[in-house]
Amino acid sequence: MKTLVISDIHANLPALEAVFDHCGPVDAVWCLGDLVGYGPDPNECVERIRAIPNLFCILGNHDAAALGQLDLAAFNFDAQQSTLWTQLTLSQENKKFLLNLPETRTIGQFTLAHGSPHNPIWEYVLDTYTARVNFQFFNTSYCLIGHSHLPLSFIQASEITEVEMRIMHESQTLALTPRAILNPGSVGQPRDHDSRASYAILDTETLQWELKRVHYPYEIVQERIRRFNLPDRHALRLAYGW
Ligand code: ZN
């Protein structure tokens, strides 16, 4: 089964549309959370995701914040501004969709968690130590995560071996062996100094994980962020991928 794996869309509709156009036909879509926050089109993005027939989606920290479930003090000032605007902008129907998202999901050999299987809402997996600890918190062969906005893979060949960390590049393919923690990067706010939307194609039968990148017109998103008086930093960063 060819599965599109996306994460951290952050209300960036042109990036999401570019990914859907670029990925070709898929059998299913797995979305690892943070549909909203930072960007100017939260309703459009949630509606686009909601309409996908073969969808598995989980909750991210920005989705929870948009529902008023998190203390805003946990965010920096710019993120607070964008969260308050998102809370006021999201329709009731779209809030209801986010409200029903689980924090984790298991699909066959795969566990889905936004931050980490240990702490799905807040924890970042950015180093081999954190990854190693997290291998104890899921029972499946593989765990798919988002949250860091970086296309990373962590591979553990056995309980006693060290975890190997890799930064994945465009068109790089991994033949998956148990066990691994994989991040497809961010659709709507990449942070690896590459402005292109990041996503992965997973073949659940051949167990191939391929990282993909696609250009999108970020100028349109920058213009809309400014039109709604959202923090300019969230517009500027899109051009640089940070
Ligand atoms: Zn995010």
147 CA to centre of ligand 1 in angstroms: 5
Q: What is the CA radius of gyration of the chain?
A: 17
Q: Please say whether the beta carbons of 33 and 64 come within 8 A.
A: no
Strand partners, 55: 29
66-104 pLDDT, tens digit per residue, is 999 998 888 899 999 999 999 999 999 999 999 999 999
Q: Judge if the upstream peptide bond of residue 233 is cis by omega within 30 degrees of 0.
A: no
> Please, are residues 37 and 72 in contact by the beta-carbon 8 Å criterion?
no
Measure 37 CA to ligand 1 centroid, in angstroms.
8
Distance of CA 59 to CAs 65, 67, 160, Å? 10, 11, 32
CA 134 to chain centre: 18
Task: Tell me how far CA of residue 50 lies from CA of 85, 172, 232, in angstroms.
Answer: 21, 29, 29
| pLDDT value at residue 213 | 98
Q: How far is the CA of 160 from the centre of ligand 1 (A)?
A: 32
Ligand 1 center from residue 45 Cα (angstroms): 14
Q: Taking ligand 1, which is a single-atom ion, which protein residues have CB atoms under 5 Å away?
A: 8, 34
Is residue 216 very low, low, confident or very high in pLDDT (cuts 50, 70, 90)?
A: very high
Q: What is the mean pLDDT of the chain?
A: 97
What is the CA(29)–ligand 1 centre distance, in A?
A: 18
User: How high is the pLDDT of residue 74?
Assistant: 85
**pLDDT, tens digit, for every residue of 7-37?**
999 999 999 999 999 999 999 999 999 999 9
pTM for the whole thing? 0.97
Q: What is the Cα–Cα distance from 173 to 181, expressed in whole angstroms?
A: 15
Distance 10 CA to ligand 1 centre (A): 7
What are the strands, taking DSSP E only, across the chain?
2-6, 28-31, 55-57, 104-107, 110-113, 142-144, 152-156, 163-167, 173-175, 180-182, 197-203, 208-214
Distance from the CA of 63 to the center of ligand 1, in angstroms? 9
Res. 107 pLDDT band, cuts 50 70 90: very high
Give pLDDT tens digits for 120-138.
Answer: 999 999 999 999 999 999 9
